[in-house]
Amino acid sequence: MTSRATAARRAAVLGKPIAHSLSPVLHRAAYEELGLTDWSYDRFEVDEAALPGFVEGLGPEWAGLSVTMPLKRAVIPLLDGISETAASVETVNTVLFTEDGRRLGDNTDIPGMVAALGERGIEQVDSAAILGAGATASSALAALARICTGEVVAYVRSEARAVEMRQWGERLDVEVRTADWADAAEALRAPLVVATTPAGATDALAHAVPERPAALFDVLYDPWPTELAARWSMTGGAVVSGLDLLVHQAVLQVELMTGLGPAPVEAMRKAGEHALAAR
Q: What is the largest CA-CA distance in the chain?
A: 57
Residues 6+ apart with CB under 8 A from 98: 104
CB 135 within 8 A of CB 197: no
Residues 6+ apart with CB under 8 A from 122: 147, 192, 215, 238, 240
How many helical (H) and strand (E) elements, i.e. helices and strands, does the chain have?
9, 12
**Position 272: which residue type?**
G
List 9, 28, 43, 72, catalytic entry? 72
How many other C-beta atoms are found inside a 10 Å radius of the C-beta of residue 228? 26
Residues 6+ apart with CB under 8 A from 125: 147, 148, 149, 150, 191, 192, 215
Within the chain, where are the H helices?
Answer: 23-34, 51-56, 84-89, 109-119, 135-147, 159-172, 227-234, 242-258, 265-278
Q: Could you confirm whether 270 is annotated as catalytic?
A: no
Active site residues: 72
